[in-house]
Structure formats: structure tokens, C-alpha cells
Chain A
């Protein structure tokens, strides 16, 4: 059974750094074609892709957020961590951890339940 679960703060203040952890199970990030990453969705809006880490250590990030994002993995722990600096109220959103696979034409075939992050003083 494949699962992904996000954890982290629900409330951060403007200018603070957000750190979110994704713990996944049922698959390995060492498997060819597999990636794990993050997508966010502001309330009532469309999802926005943020970043992906692939099995071969290839790393992709949203160009509009690249200066603020860091994504790392710990394959032995089945864990991916997203860090976003200088948080702003416009970053208020539900943040999802997702699996991406080349075998399904790079679609996001599994999603975590999401964690709502509010940016407010």
C-alpha cells in the first residue's frame, strides 16, 4: 500500500521559514522513474507545482520560487523535506506531498492528504 504523509507547522509568521516533511511508504525513491515532490493549492484555486526530486538525484523546482525553495531527501528514511524561506500571506495554502512516475507519463499518481499552512502574524 502506497502512502505519503505531510507534517509540519500549521501556522507560520511572515518572513519565517517553513519546513515540511513528507514520510512515504510502499515504494522506494531508489526505483528508476520515481520522483517525490510538492504541490500546493491556495483555498479555492488550482494546484501549483513547487518541486520534485527524482530517483537519480535530478532536482526540479518552480522558477518563480527557486530562490526560496530547498528540497532534500533521505532515502534510507523514505523522507523528503521541503524548506521555503521568507514566507508571506500569499503562501497560505494546502501543501501536498506527491509521487511522480515516468511510467505514468510523469503524472502525480499518489498524493498525501495535504497539510494546511496559514501565514499570518
Chain B
């Protein structure tokens, strides 16, 4: 299953609402996770099951969607949110990741 993210990069100001989309080449139900990765660090899970916030993740992060179209939203962008974000499907093997979206602060 191919995962396609858009945009590949986004530049936004602190306080802005940022939306990243992920499209699956086949329906995956709600078997989708979102990860945040900062330079030199391992990815960290933000959202699992398409819309469930992982423990400890700030409430400004939210996920939605099912089937083939999914969205990660940062409701009010903070400086520490500068990172690359990946989606990943867990519906069927081989598990696959999107190509990533780089979020930068203006």
C-alpha cells in the first residue's frame, strides 16, 4: 500500500493552523499512525488509529479520516513543532510510511 503525503513542506507562523494530508493507495480503515521526527532523533508517535492521541502528546495535535484519506492538524503551531511528520499504515504488511512533510516556522 502506497502512502502519499502533501504538502512535502510547509512554512507557517507561530499560532497558525497547519494541516497535513495522507492518502493511501488502498482503503486501510483507521489503521493509520502519525509520527513526528526532529533532526537526529527517532520518530515519535503522535496519533494512532487515525484519531487517537498518544499519551503525553499536546492537545493541539489531532488526526482524522478513514479509508484512504487522512489528516493531521496542528491547531496552533508552536516553535517546538518544527519537525518532519510521517504517516504510516498498519492495515496490511508490509507496513509503509509516507514520504514526509517538513514543517518550518516562519
Contacts and interface: CB of A to CB of B under 8 A. Distances in A.
Nearest to B3: A46
Interface in A29-57: 46-49
Interface stretch (B11-19, B69-77, B90-98): B90-98
B28 to A, nearest CB: 11
Interface string A78-119: 000000000000000000100000001111110111100000
B94 A47 contact: no
A120 interface: no
A108 B98 contact: no
B43 interface: yes
B90 A106 contact: yes
- Which label, helix, strand, loop or mixed, suits the secondary structure of the B interface? loop
B94 A49 contact: yes
Interface residues of A, number: 19
B53 to A, nearest CB: 11
Size range of the chain B interface in the assembly: 20 to 34
Given A47-B86, A63-B94, A109 B54 contact: yes
A49 B86 CA distance: 13
B48 interface: yes
Contacts of A111: 42-44
A107 B86 contact: no
